[in-house]
Amino acid sequence: MPMLKRADAEIHYEIHGAGFPVLLYAPGGLKSEMSMWGGSSPAYPNGFPWMDHLGFKKFHVMGGCAPLYLQPGTDKPHPAHTSAEIAELAPNIEVQKDWRGPEFLQESIRRVHDFLARNTPQ
């Protein structure tokens, strides 16, 4: 697995597919353990140095808790009241209320794909 080494971080990354780049990361919770995400450390280096390293000037950022496209939490690490507050405060937010469980997987994939397609710079 490729790795970007800096004085303040070691960032393991993978590249898949083609087209406008999407940075996917887990900002805590959601099994955000080093073994799950390739052993990068620290979890939150300043900025996105690996995207600079790869030559991407513009890219989507998608995280487990990212606003604007929201799949609301309902558990202790991602309480429903926090999701409701984000949904109320964030401008131009799209909320997918039903997303947990395998029966929602294909709909989630379609909606995220459509969201990214609508919001990708030309």
Residue 34 has pLDDT above 80, yes or no: no
Beta bridge partners of 75: 78
pLDDT digits (tens, 9 = 90+) for 95-108: 999 998 999 999 99
What is the pLDDT, as a whole number, of residue 58? Answer: 86
Sequence-distant (6+) residues with CB within 8 A of 79 are: 73
Mean pLDDT of 35-42: 56
Q: Is the dihedral of CA 65, 104, 24, 35 positive or negative?
A: positive
Query: DSSP assignment of 4-39, as one string?
Result: EEETTEEEE----SSSS-EEEE--SSTT--TTTTTS
Distance CA 103, CA 99 (A): 8
